[in-house]
Structure 1
Amino acid sequence: MLSKRKTTIRGKHVGKKIPRIKPSRARKIIRRFHLLINKRRVICRKLDLAISDNDEATCSATILEAVNSGNLQKFYEEGWKEIRPSNDLEAKMLSVQNITDKSTLTRILGYIMCEIHEHGGLKNYQMASTIGQDGGRGGDSSKLLVKWLRELPTLPSDFRALEIGSLSARNYISTSGVFDQVVRIDLNSNDAANIQSQDFMQRPIPNDDSERFDVISCSLVLNFVPSPLERGAMLKRLLAFLRRDVTTTYVFIVLPLPCIVHSRYMSESLFCEIMAYLGYTRTQYYEAKKIAYFLFEKTMNAPDTYQRDSQLVRDTSKFTKKLLIHDKPGLNNFSVLL
């Protein structure tokens, strides 16, 4: 008879071994992957290639077809076979926006694609992202969201949530029982059955309230959007996905704390002003050691922008231009522009 014992005689666990990555290593993997995706996007734009970040198979096929038809295969293969790390190609990749030569762009593209598909770029990113939400590390930001929502006077029975940048179908937002429905999307889903591979900026605008949501969770996503204007566009687009047949809806935003407290062009108060300009009221805010958590409320009767009366006049240039708030060594350049 087979033993059902879960440990050996010496007490060692015999279950499936769960991979472990130090938090610093996981952050490094995630930052690297997003860098590769962003630089690939820039190169493909320069080469007039229409690609989708959320479909790696189609993206690879599109790139290979273009490389072969454009007589650029030699340069692509050179980049693919380059010894890693290549100081030359790493430097060129970081300044790729200033490069116009097609052969150089194609070499960098081959270098990037090889890392994503042959050197564990995508696989390591998915593993690091999932482990980053390990409850044992306090990485599931949706716990705080659910806690705040449970403090509300009432919750509707058909409470619906959209989770942008979802990493697990077993996180707190999905298992708390607060929501009647949770729709999960991520650029590169690691769970095709439960998380849809989709870029939020490409998600079709809802036709009616049956396709909209009470809550949108956007945890550690905005900071990976490539440019300040694109971040602003994402914040503006959230409005189209919030229900209009209920009195109040919510947006939960999580950012690395340095984006708020160590930026030359951003602060917690300015970020809240930008959201207020879009019609939101901040109802909750919490700073952890490395993370900033915001909960914003949107009410049906709130204006989509500030009312310009004598008491609510605002200098809107702070929302459309980078304005220096802090200036000292070691600060980052995170900002959001409308």
Structure 2
Amino acid sequence: MKTKKRKAPLIPKTVTSLRKARAITSSFHKLTSKAEEAKARGDVKGLKAARTELEALGGRQAYQEASIVTTSRSRHTSKWVFSKLTSLGMRPARGKQPLELLEVGAVNTQLLSVPWLAVRAIDLKSCHPRIEEKNFFDLRPEYNYGAVVCSMVINCVPSPEARGRMLKLLHQHVCPGGLVFLTLPLRCLTHSKNITWEQFAKVIESVGFVIESSKASPKVAFFCLQKPKTGEEARRPPPSARGPPEGILCGKGPARATSTFGVTLRDEAELPATHGR
């Protein structure tokens, strides 16, 4: 009788409740933003307090464990990626070469398990043998991926300039005609004192992407970006793709400005080495 081979476990979980996992990820993003704001204004005491709260929360380890729980229960991102690749005719036919895909900030093996995808999954701190422990900013762009998935990562990058650099690098990693699937907390665009949904869309276009589509769940913003094929002029995305989904309020008023998320585009020569998620 054959014994079933056990799957390699993700990092040991102390977080099992979905409700608790969501609370941890939400608190982590808020405290990270709080620390960033304190650092920007030179508030040493405030920065120390934010870092102490992050340590009490469990730090990046707790955040990663919570992310594993939330993504394994919902699968929203992977389902969205599968659906888009299929509807846009990018899913390879049976017997054809798998589509090359780079997953940045991987916390599970959902994409790695798909037979028609050739996935390179990376994260700063690997939680699985199949996920490579690698800093995205250390990867040399080769313009060869048919798709790149960057889910809930850009918001963990510590500065507006580094986030701009991340967008530029994502553009360089994907091949002409390829897609980038980008997600971030919705509050980064609805409650930021620095950027709105419309402004974020303009930054994306400035990098060279076309917004193929966008949508929002109660807590997450989803952007499907396409790099125009060589020689093809970047077409203007439809208003529904550039603007926030119906019912999503964006603004910088005092009542809504509780996030410091922002993105700044600068020349690569001006940017120091960066470490994100």
Q: TM-score, normalised by structure 2?
A: 0.69
* Ranges in structure 1 where 5+ consecutive residues have no aligned partner: 1-16, 43-92, 308-323
2:133 corresponds to which residue? 197
1:20 corresponds to which residue? 16
Distance 2:81 2:164 in 1: 22
What is the aligned-residue identity percentage? 27
| Letter of the structure 1 residue corresponding to residue 149 of structure 2 | S
**Aligned ranges 1:120-131 → 2 under 5 Å:** 120-131=58-69
Distance 2:218 2:155 in 1: 17
Displacement of 1:260: 2.0
**Which of these residues, 248, 256, 260, is aligned with residue 333 of structure 1?**
260
**Which of these residues, 149, 162, 170, is aligned with residue 217 of structure 1?**
149
- 1:158 to 2:98 alignment: yes
Distance 1:143 1:289 in 2: 17
- 1:240 to 2:190 alignment: no
Q: TM-score, normalised by structure 1?
A: 0.58
- Residues paired across the two proteins, number: 233
* Ranges in structure 2 where 5+ consecutive residues have no aligned partner: 1-12, 237-249, 266-277
2:71 corresponds to which residue? 133
Q: Structure 1 residues 293, 95: CA separation in 2 closer, same or farther (over 3 Å shift)? A: closer
SS of residue paired to 1:283: strand
SS of residue paired to 2:112: helix
| Letter of the structure 2 residue corresponding to residue 150 of structure 1 | T
**Aligned ranges 1:283-294 → 2 under 5 Å:** 283-294=212-223
Distance 2:33 2:256 in 1: 23
Residues 256-315 of structure 1: CA distance to partner in whole angstroms, max 9, x if unpaired?
1112222233222222221112221111211111111110111223679999xxxxxxxx
Which gives a bigger RCO, structure 1 or 2 (Cα 8 Å, sep 6+)?
A: 2
2:120 corresponds to which residue? 183
1:256 corresponds to which residue? 185
SS of residue paired to 2:102: strand
Are the equivalent residues in 2 in contact too, given 1:217–1:251 (CA < 8 A)?
A: yes
**Aligned ranges 1:1-338 → 2 under 5 Å:** 20-23=16-19, 25-30=20-25, 98=42, 115=55, 120-135=58-73, 138-156=74-92, 157-169=97-109, 171=110, 173-179=111-117, 181-191=118-128, 193-206=129-142, 212-243=144-175, 247-301=176-230, 326-331=252-257, 332-338=259-265
Residues 54-85 of structure 1: CA distance to partner in whole angstroms, max 9, x if unpaired?
xxxxxxxxxxxxxxxxxxxxxxxxxxxxxxxx
SS of residue paired to 2:211: strand
Are the equivalent residues in 2 in contact too, given 1:279–1:306 (CA < 8 A)?
A: no
Distance 2:235 2:84 in 1: 26
Distance 1:96 1:275 in 2: 24
Residues 172-223 of structure 1: CA distance to partner in whole angstroms, max 9, x if unpaired?
x2334341x10111111111x11111221122333xx5xx311111101111
Distance 1:270 1:237 in 2: 19
Q: Structure 1 residues 261, 271: CA separation in 2 closer, same or farther (over 3 Å shift)? A: same
- Of the structure 1 ranges 270-279 and 218-227, higher mean CA displacement relative to structure 2 is found in 270-279
2:10 corresponds to which residue? none
Distance 2:186 2:34 in 1: 24
SS of residue paired to 1:301: coil
Structure with the larger strand share: 2
Are the equivalent residues in 1 in contact too, given 2:150–2:180 (CA < 8 A)?
A: yes
Q: Structure 1 residues 18, 175: CA separation in 2 closer, same or farther (over 3 Å shift)? A: farther
Q: Structure 1 residues 120, 260: CA separation in 2 closer, same or farther (over 3 Å shift)? A: closer
SS of residue paired to 1:146: helix
RMSD value over aligned CA atoms? Answer: 3.7
Q: State the structure with more CA Rg.
A: 1
